[in-house]
Amino acid sequence: MKIGRRIVASAVLLVALLPLRAVTRPTQSQESAPRASSSAASVPRLEVVDLLKRGVAADRSGDRQRALADYQRALALARTIGDRALEAQSLENIGVVYAELSELQQALGYYQQALEIFRAVGDRGGEAATLSNVGHAYSSAGRRQEALRCFAQALPVQRALRDTEGEANTLNKIAVTYDELGDKKQALVYYGEALALSRRLGDRAEEAGIINNIGMAYNDLGDRRRGLEYLQQALVMRRRAGDRDGEAVTLNNLGAIYGGRGERQRALDYYQQSISLRRAIGDRKGEALTLNNIGIIYYAAGDKRRALHLLRQALSIFDGIGDEHAASVRADIKRIESEL
């Protein structure tokens, strides 16, 4: 979850791409339990709830195809029993997975369906969570001003409803968007607010992601020592939580920082760990970002042919998912080809 962040990887024009950080995984407002009245729950409704919970667990473990299957079954059953609230929650969760798979148009289509139902049934919390997810998708597509407008609609509702978890998640997304726009100091303000709320909630997964993001912001401001401290802390927390998606992101970010310091072998070690996880969980965009970064390490080491091979692999994936970084990687490939 991830439009690539850039840091200079060497003295040349090639740049390392870093992903949008993992807590930016869209809020799954139904994680603790879909909003349904347990006192009046029928057996089919409970089955939908169970499918949604299983889907969330599969998604957290990185098994997105299984998550999609569970959510699709939940959606079909919710429609069969005419439960509009659970239908909307199923649609939103399907959108979350497609966003994680970088299939943003698919994600937006499901979010729009969920949004219409949440509004029809008067579920303001569901509406706000979905708006936040739409903002995330826009940010991932590079449409960051549109993203900020969505967040500006979601945040006041979450605060009015005292949805602290949703508020923390949206604040983090706002921070990431400012970070991507280059306003690191404003990003750190929002990261700080999000971190305080996450710690109050005891949400260790969200806290780890925000700590990761803070580390990257400090690195971008030139404080690499402080950045590494935050990233190492995030890595420990994510491994303890079994958050493979988040672990892959932090490993990639550590590789980028060490690459920027000229510690190439250490950078490669982190990148290889990251790419193994990303392939295991089917994170195609993340795989491309890390392939690009590994290519940059080999370019800096003078192995231009190996760098080209890796960058071409990255480009193939970026082209396949319609990612905005395809153009810059294509330009880097042409530059290297001209040097051979």
Contacts of 221 (CB under 8 A, 6+ apart): 184, 185
- What Å distances lie between residue 41 and 38, 44, 77, 81, 173, CA to CA? 5, 8, 14, 12, 34
pLDDT at 145: 94
Secondary structure class of 302 (helix, strand, coil): coil
pLDDT of 1 strictly over 70: no
pLDDT of residue 173: 92
Q: What is the mean pLDDT of residues 245-256?
A: 93
Q: What is the reported pLDDT for 22? A: 26
Per DSSP, what are the bridge partners of residue 15? 8
Report the alpha-carbon angle 4-26-318, nearest 5. Answer: 30
According to CATH, the topology of domain 5-30+123-339 is: 1.25.40
Share of the chain above pLDDT 90, in %: 67
295-324: pLDDT as tens digits: 999 999 999 999 999 999 999 998 888 777
Of the candidates 174, 146, 177, 253, the residue with the CA atom closest to the CA atom of residue 208 = 253
Residues 158-181: what's their mean pLDDT? Answer: 93
Domains of the chain by residue range: 5-30+123-339
The arithmetic mean of pLDDT across residues 80-107, rounded, is: 91
Residue 134 has pLDDT above 80, yes or no: yes
Q: What's the pTM?
A: 0.75
Whether 152 has a pLDDT exceeding 90, the answer reads yes
Q: What is the mean pLDDT of the chain?
A: 85
Question: Does residue 129 register a pLDDT over 70?
Answer: yes
Q: Is the alpha carbon torsion for 333, 245, 324, 181 positive or negative?
A: negative
Q: What is the pLDDT of residue 59?
A: 82
State residue 77's pLDDT score: 94
Closest CA to 59 of 106, 108, 100: 100
The total number of residues written for the chain in this structure = 340
- In this prediction, residue 41 carries a pLDDT of 52
CA dihedral (68, 103, 312, 59) positive or negative: negative
Question: In this model, does residue 101 exceed pLDDT 50?
Answer: yes
Each residue's pLDDT tens digit, 6-49: 222 222 234 344 332 322 233 333 332 233 333 345 778 899 99
Whole-Å CA distances, 158 to 16, 70, 127, 129, 194? 35, 27, 10, 8, 13
Who wins on pLDDT, 61 or 314?
A: 314
Percent of the chain scoring above 70 in pLDDT? 88
- Cβ neighbors of 258 (< 8 A, separation 6 or more) are 264, 266, 267, 270
What pLDDT is stored for residue 103 in this prediction? 87
